[in-house]
Homo-oligomer: A and B are copies of this chain.
Amino acid sequence: MNIGQASDASGVSAKMIRYYEEIGLIRPMGRTGNNYRVYGEEEVHVLRFIRRARSLGFSLEETETLLKLWQDQSRESAAVKDVATAHIADLERRIAEMQGMVKTLKHLAHCCGGDQRPNCPILDDLAGDAPAPAPRKTKQPA
């Protein structure tokens, strides 16, 4: 199986497969005489594993840890759960951060007329107590 077929079979782009090899996430593959990488079913399984981990938001570093745990028959499931739990906490922290933004923005947008008049509480919030600056371009047109 060439890299294109492994890509189709795993859903990981050929570009990424080469990158994962470069950073040591997957082993360097064997080559045929023409210097093409050769893949088998097992490599495709590994790539699918990586894709699934990425789709759940795990970083490549976390994915590498999970991959090693998967390949370690004597792993303790606690180690896997720790990685997942930490990731959940990180996701929840980021979600809360964004929800805070949304809450503020929705309030401001609600208070904004959204019409042809210039008065705008959104800009007022961003400006703080600063006076509107003198009209000028921040970027000169070419």
Contact = CB atoms under 8 A, between A and B. Distances in A.
Contacts of A94: 98
A56 to B, nearest CB: 5
Interface string A15-34: 00000000011110000000
A133 B55 CA distance: 21
A82 B105 CA distance: 12
Contacts of A116: 76-78
Interface of A: 24-27, 42, 45-46, 48-49, 52-53, 55-57, 64, 66-78, 80-82, 84-85, 87-88, 91-92, 94-95, 98-99, 101-102, 104-106, 108-109, 112-120, 122-123, 125-128, 130-139
Given A46-B133, A57-B98, 5 more contacts: A25-B139, A72-B118, A75-B120, A78-B115, A82-B114
